[in-house]
Amino acid sequence: MPTIPEQQASPQEFAALVGELEQAEAYEVNLRQRIIDARDQLAAGNTSVALSILNTAINDIDAATDVVAGSHSEGVR
């Protein structure tokens, strides 16, 4: 059975992929911090503040589809 030769990414493609990975990691850190902040507010009895933090996080998730889905998602289903 023939094998498909591996293609090397160009320096530009590699830099773009590294940039996307760094952006996704920063996004994850930010989201985790919001979850921690919301949990702390709930523990302190500040339900409305926790809900506000989580609502802001949800709005950010909705607005960040390029981070969540990636910019190279053509053809991916």
The 10s digit of each residue's pLDDT in 29-65 is 999 999 999 999 999 999 999 999 999 999 988 888 6
Residue 66: the pLDDT is: 64
Residue ranges in the chain assigned as alpha helix (H): 11-43, 47-63, 65-69
- The answer, as to whether pTM is greater than 0.85, is no
Please provide the distance, in angstroms rounded to a whole number, between the alpha carbons at the two ends of the chain. Answer: 28
Measured CA to CA, the distance from residue 58 to residue 71 in angstroms comes to: 20
**Closest by Cα among 46, 42, 49, 22 to 57:** 49
Measured CA to CA, the distance from residue 63 to residue 17 in angstroms comes to: 21
